[in-house]
Structure 1
Amino acid sequence: MDYRNAAECLNLLHRLHASNVDETHAALSTVVFGMLDALPPPNQHLEVLEAARPMIARVQAEMSRRYTAQPLPPDSLENEILLRVVTLWRNLARSYARIVRHDARDGTLDDQRALLFQRRMHYAGQGVVEYFRAHRAVPAGQWAEAHECFAAAEEADLAQIRVADSLNEVWKAQSTLEAYVAVLLVDLANPFGRTERELAWICRWAQRFAPYCALGTPESQKPTLYGVDLGADHGLRPLGLLPASPRLRRFDGSTLAGQIRAVLAQFKQGLKPASLGLGEDCTVEAGNRLLLSLYRPWGLASAGRRFPRRGSRGQVELTGDWLAIGFHVDGKVFTQPRTYGVASSLNSDMNLLTFGERAPQADDPARREALRQHEAEQLGFVCEQWEILDQSVGGFRLQQRPRAERLEHHQLVGVRPQDGDRFLLGHVSWLMYRADGLLEAGVHVLPGVPSLVAARPVSLHSGRSPFHQAFLLPATPALKTGPSLVLPSRWYHPSAVIEIHVEGKSSQVRLEQLVLRGANFDQVSFEALPPSVA
């Protein structure tokens, strides 16, 4: 078959079925590249591209699902799939750009120029977003291509003209400006800190909310507002960090802030996310939580860092295993409290038989550390070493060439700096692979030095149910935080009662507010119940 012939390509598109994703993707990629290389008449080229759009969207989505569940290492087998997906996005963007240039002499598609610019911008933006989906650093030149697509439409005075777009789920239409803003919104949403499901919602919502944003000149604006340099090779930055340039544009999301407030108010009135254009697969709770996290970056301005980062060197010990965290926090393996009964005694006996009688704590710190490391090796609780790139009071930016343990977003971790005496609790706030194969991670440290406690929900049968490992974080007056519990995932329910066992004593607490919900933990505030109430 001649993939350079428009008529034959159209016949092929009518025969293709997306049941075999790999074959269909290969055929579509060949059609797009063949047309790009052949330079057919602009109207025929456009007809082929428009006919292929729906199937390309479906097949690209199926291909990307193979690598979006976890951050994608550059040396993995799935990396080849990412490159194939991105290549198709970029070839589509170049195809529409080629049609504009090819048609400049004849002007047969003058009435379609706004559509050509919008399509080009959409596909160039998808190339950037695909790296967000894979949690990979955006390669050099990719942002510059996206900026150039918008700049070309702006120069032609066609950036704000809406054209029909059946792939836009909410509006069924989009302008080049809106396609560009949608990419900028995804960039502002901390994409490397989102799960696969959250990022899918964010990409959809960016299309939904893009019409409420604007780009303008940055005259006399606050340095904390966001801006983008159309001549640079990166996304949005606070204006105060960008040098003056005639290609500098100010991002204005003030109208969008009002829209987000309106949606949050409608949630309170009982409206469902689907009725608000947020998707059938989104719950009120999840939608409310995600929109709240997007309110400031999308609608207001850069918040600035609460705790400034400083360059730092050294290493930290880190583990994401729940039992290993407890071991390193408490210095011993979690066991059922003795008041629990026979099981506790049996557990203790098994522990003694397996690991021997526990040696008394050594006074010498070096000796104590050696004992901890030795027992951790016996138990399989050895921590991995991560290199510090920079740090602040609030956490660390780390890097490592990944080994055995795989982390996930918002997972609880135990972390101890090289010069620290105690393990602290933290959670993974973002993950991103660099092109050289190193994995970067942001770890937010939970305030306070944790202690290990035994916990179980109180119910009619709680006297027979086992305790679980949990953590108690003390109040931190300097940060205006009260005491909190870190419990296993989904334990939090408003006013739920939890039995806590610490140092041979049991007490009950009532859960108050959910402070933080992670992938495998709930951090909650609580109030102690007097014995009479308990």
Structure 2
Amino acid sequence: MDYRNPAECLDLLKRLNPVNVDETQKSLSDMVSGLLDGTAPSNQHLEVLEAARETITLVQAELAKRYASRSLPPDSIENATLKRVVALWRNLAESYAEITRRDATSGTLDDQRALLAQRRVHYKGLALLEYFRAHRAVPIGMWAELQESFSMAEAQGVADIRVADTLNQIWRAQSATEAFITFLLVDLSNPFGRGEREFNWICRWSQRFAPYCTLLGAKDADPAVKPTSYGIDLAADHGLRPIGVLNATSKTLRRFDGSRLAGQIQAVLGQLKQGVTPASLGLGSDCAAEASAKLLLSLYRPWGLASVGRRFPRRGGRGHVELTGDWLAIGFHVQGKLFEQPGGAPVTRSLRSDITLLTFGERADGRNLDDVELQRRREADKLGFVCGRWEIRDQSVGGFRLSQLQSPERLEHHQLVGLRPADGGHFLLGQISWLMFHDDGMLEAGINMLNGIPRVVAVRQVGMQATVRGAYQQAFSLPETPALKRPRSLVLPAGWFQPHRVIEIHDGEVKQVRLTTLLQRGANYDQVAYEAVTSST
């Protein structure tokens, strides 16, 4: 097969079977590379690329599913799959750029310059998206390549010309500017904190909402613009940043304006509230109304308004934390003993009570704090509850940015974790906000803390008949935090929350409570507010 021959390539496209994903992707990659290295006429080269677009998109999406569900370590077997997918996207972008260069003198494709520019930006951006999808740090230079592609479209005067694009599910057309903004919106969506489903929705919605955003040049600069507004320097190697931290005199500075998008998101949220289906609003037939509204609401500020200053400013951190994501292990480290069914053997003093006594200056059986800690570690080792050691990169009152070179524990987004800083006296609860691997194997994690010192409690659901009782399960109780306007809450196993559900708590005494509000839902837990059940209700 001569992959440099456009006629043979067109014949190959008719014979490919997308069901054989690996074989088909290899053939497509060889074809794109062969044409890129060959000397085919520009118009014939373009014809083959356009004919192959739909098949390439389908096959690439299937391959990407192999690494989209969890953060991809660089030593994973699917790391080679990521490289294959990225290589094809990048070669496609370079192919459209090469056609533009070859045709510069003949002018045969002058009427296709806008299409060539849009395709180049589109495929450069798709290569970058794969690193978001795999929760991998974007390699140095990839943002610069994307921005160079957009700058070329601007220089040619074709950046704002819409061209047909049947792969754009909503508009069926797109300009180079809209393609560029699509990837800026994905970058603003906290992509390293999204699971596979949410990330796919965000990529689709970014295309849907990109036309409502604008990039303003230096000549359009508004002196009254807030420093928290977003901007981008096309000569830099990163995405949008608060404009206050960028060089205001740079000729390659562009200001991002999403004010029209803010109004559009409000309108969509209003229609969802009225019962209009997500599919009819261009969000997708696979989108549930409640989940769509929740995700759109989280995107409203970064997409439509401006960056948000941190509620709790971060500061550089030193030291380390112990961290575990195992539910029973969290309970063990919080209370100093393994969770047991209430009403069994007499309750013995736990390691946690020993530590608490020592903290307040009393001695426990003649032991010092180091002895108690040593005992805790020995017990944890016996039970398989050893915590991972994570280095603190920076921290705030609200959370931590941590790193670990080798993670023995598989973690997922929005999972409940227990952690204790080296200088802390208590294990606390947190939620994984985002995860990202570096090429050297370093894993970074953002942790949002759940306020308050937790206590382990036993909970069980109350059946329809008062005599029906199941086994107790481990849960956590968190105190009220008036300063943050956070009510007392329970952290229950995932799926327990139903409005007005009554459950039984054993916390030294047995009582029934009614669940009132879902405060936060994670991958493996529900954090809920509750109220006591009185005899009069």
| TM bucket, shorter chain | over 0.9
Q: Hey, what's the Cα distance between the residues in 2 that align with 1:229 and 1:359?
A: 53
Q: CA deviation at 1:174?
A: 0.7
- Residue 382 (structure 2) aligned to one of 358, 373, 378: 378
Matched AA of 1:49: L
Consecutive unaligned residues of structure 1, counting only runs of 5 or more, are: 339-344
**Once the two structures are superposed, what CA deviation does each residue of 1:79-101 show, in whole Å capped at 9, x if it has no partner?**
11111110100000011011111
C-alpha distance in 2 between matches for 1:21 and 1:434: 27
Structure 1 Cα separation of the partners of residues 233 and 503 of structure 2: 53
SS at match of 2:159: coil
> Which aligned pairs between 1:42-53 and structure 2 lie closer than 5 A?
42-53=42-53
Aligned 1:342-381 pairs, distance under 5 A: 345=344, 348=345, 361=354, 362=364, 364-381=368-385
Identity %: 63
1:406-455 deviation line (CA, Å, top 9, x unaligned): 00000000010000000000010000001111000001111111111111
Q: 1:242 aligns with which of 234, 246, 249?
A: 246
Distance 2:78 2:379 in 1: 38
Give the SS at the match of 1:74: coil
SS of corresponding position for 2:235:
coil
2:427 to 419, 423, 427: 423
Partner Cα distance (1:116, 1:43) in 2: 11
| Structure 2 counterparts to residues 375-414 of structure 1, below 5 A | 375-414=379-418
For 1:142, the aligned partner's letter is: M
Q: Distance in 1 between matches of 2:74 and 2:352?
A: 45
Q: Give the equivalent residue in structure 2 for 1:37.
A: 37
The secondary structure found in structure 1 opposite 2:61 is helix
Task: Report the AA paired with residue 265 of structure 1.
Answer: G
Q: Which deviates further from its counterpart, 328-337 or 300-309?
A: 328-337
SS of the residue 1:17 aligns to: coil
1:335 matched to which residue of 2? 340
2:199, 2:409 → 1: CA distance? 23
Report the alpha carbon displacement of residue 28 of structure 1 after superposing the two structures with TM: 0.3
* Maintained 8 Å contact 2:337/2:350: no
What residue is the counterpart of 1:262 in the other structure?
A: 267
Q: Contact 2:4 / 2:38 at 8 angstroms: preserved in 1?
A: yes
Query: Is the counterpart of residue 123 in structure 1 residue 123 in structure 2?
Result: yes
Higher deviation after alignment, 268-277 or 194-203: 268-277
Q: How much is the aligned-residue C-alpha RMSD, in angstroms?
A: 1.7
| Distance in 2, Cα, partners of 1:487 & 1:288 | 24
Q: Which amino acid aligns with 2:443?
A: L
Change (3 A) 1:425 1:357: closer
Hey, what does 2:24 align to over in structure 1?
24
1:179-215: CA deviations, max 9, x gaps? 1000000000000000011101110111111111111
Listed one character per residue, the Cα deviations across residues 292-341 of structure 1 (whole Å, up to 9, x for unaligned) are 11111111110111111111111100000001111111111111221xxx
Deviations 1:116-147 (CA, angstroms, capped at 9, x unpaired): 11111100000110100010000011000100
Q: Which amino acid aligns with 1:521?
A: Y
Q: Indicate whether 1:440 and 2:444 are aligned.
A: yes
The answer to whether residue 5 in structure 2 is matched with residue 2 in structure 1 is no
**2:237 corresponds to:** 233
Structure 2 counterpart of 1:305: 310
| 2:83 corresponding residue in structure 1 | 83
2:491 is the counterpart of 1:491: no
Give the TM-score normalised by structure 2: 0.94
Alpha-carbon separation, structure 2, partners of 1:43 and 1:461: 76
- 1:199-218 superposed matches below 5 A: 199-217=199-217, 218=221
Determine the structure 2 residue equivalent to 1:182: 182
Q: Which amino acid aligns with 2:286?
A: D
**SS at 1:235's partner residue?**
coil
* Residue 66 of structure 1: aligned partner: 66
Structure 1 residues 121 and 448, CA, compared in 2 at 3 Å: closer, same or farther? Answer: same
**The one of 300, 305, 317 aligned to 1:295:** 300
Q: What is the count of residue pairs matched by the alignment? A: 520
1:466 paired residue number: 471
* 1:342 corresponding residue in structure 2: none
What residue in structure 1 maps to residue 166 of structure 2? Answer: 166
| In 2, Cα distance between equivalents of 1:407 and 1:360 | 29
Q: Which moved more, 1:490-499 or 1:56-65?
A: 490-499
Q: Tell me whether 1:519 sits opposite 2:537 in the alignment.
A: no
Partner Cα distance (1:511, 1:159) in 2: 54
CA distance in 2, matches of 1:10, 1:72: 35
User: What is the match of residue 506 of structure 1?
Assistant: 510
Which 10-residue stretch deviates more, 70-79 or 178-187?
70-79
Contact 2:519 2:529 (8 Å CA) reproduced: yes
Whole-Å separation in 2 of the counterparts to 1:286 and 1:402: 34
Cα distance per residue 1:237-279 (max 9 Å; x no partner): 1111112211011111111111111111111111121111111
Q: Measure the CA separation in 1 of the matches of 2:174 and 2:526.
A: 40
Change (3 A) 1:357 1:311: closer
What does residue 479 of structure 1 align with? 484
Determine helix, strand or coil for the equivalent of 1:69.
coil
Q: Which shifted more, 136-145 or 455-464? A: 455-464
Cα deviations by residue, 1:374-410 (Å, 9 ceiling, x for unpaired): 1111111111111111111011101112332100000
C-alpha change, 1:470 and 1:431, in structure 2 (3 Å) is same
Q: Distance in 2 between matches of 1:498 and 1:148?
A: 59
Distance in structure 2 (CA, Å) of the matches to 1:130 and 1:291: 22
1:5-59 deviations in Å (ceiling 9; x for gaps): 1111111111111121111000000110111111311100100100000000000
Q: 1:159: how far off? A: 0.9
- Deviation larger for 487-496 or 85-94: 487-496
**Aligned counterpart, 2:327:** 322
The verdict on how the C-alpha distance between 1:360 and 1:469 changes in structure 2, with shifts beyond 3 A counting, is closer
- Give the whole-Å Cα distance in 2 for the aligned partners of 1:509 and 1:303: 37
Alignment gaps of 5+ in structure 2: 355-363
SS in 1 for 2:309: coil
Q: Which one-letter code corresponds to 1:388 in the other structure?
A: I
Amino acid at match of 1:417: P
Once the two structures are overlaid, the 10-residue window that deviates more, 391-400 or 371-380, is 371-380
Displacement of 1:496? 1.6
Deviation of 1:461 after TM superposition, in Å, equals: 4.4
Aligned-residue offset at 1:478: 2.2
- Name the SS for the 1:449 alignment partner: coil
